[in-house]
Structure 1
């Protein structure tokens, strides 16, 4: 597995992450990240911006090369079949997030109704369990995705602990953020454009 690919892709998704955020997104320990990041910085593929790092134009070009090489190793016929299965779960997840954000599809959820939130958290747990076998198949198809089960489980645990931010808040590794990144990974692995997915109504 290419650790360069893990880190460059995480930097692409996160924009300007701290190194700790980058390590979490790449599924690496902080101590292991340094051995990957320093050569990428030296090669001009990552750049430091204060306490953060960002992907450079050279890094983006290298990332595209690495992604293309990975895509060539994936069983595309099986991926397409499993992606259709993902689409069904994704529809349910999108509805769950809508229900989390809006009560009766109209009133913003201020999270003062504990019973309402609890019901949605139960639904999220059920969806998480339902999705786990399919996610395992995606990891088998592309082992680089191995960090996603742990990231989704970590976000779910925080939601269950009573912090509503970890279901759908952007800019943190909320369940929705990690789900969105996973969906981007699947789109990329299949060589499909997000515009096409949005047109088909399958994007978040």
Structure 2
């Protein structure tokens, strides 16, 4: 069954990707980002450097690559077009963060939250990663705009989508930095919701975590 084989390949690929990224983040944290090479990561993961590059085109991607774009787009597509733009985008960002953080319930950090926290600390402290993070944000912004519109979206409407997405991502970045500086003591979705509410007030009020 081709579909089943395709699903299994995708699962194996995702598992390999997670394994490589986990080793990379551990080595970067223990030895420093600049002092750790892709070859070091490959050796720790038990794969070839070529395999690492097949999953992560750049060294920066070993820290920053995640599923946010797909998750955010899916949630925007599932939201109501009757909502304010920042509610649709903000709710999607909160939902995606909750998924990536592993859905903690206040009983200490989950493994996913610890991993995300380590990645954020590396991003904040490493200039090369901060620059790559900006590139990733542009890609995420475009994914948001694509999910909001379609082929018939006019230029003025697309401009509004870009502005709303950019503003929401700025609030998200501020929330992520605050969460990392606070050692993850507050639930990440709550920190993001607080940042969005501070930025947009009534336009964001009442979105909850589902958008």
Do the two structures share a fold, i.e. TM-score over 0.5? no
- TM-score, normalised via structure 1 length: 0.28
Write 1 or 2 for the structure with the bigger share of strand.
1
- TM-score, normalised via structure 2 length: 0.28
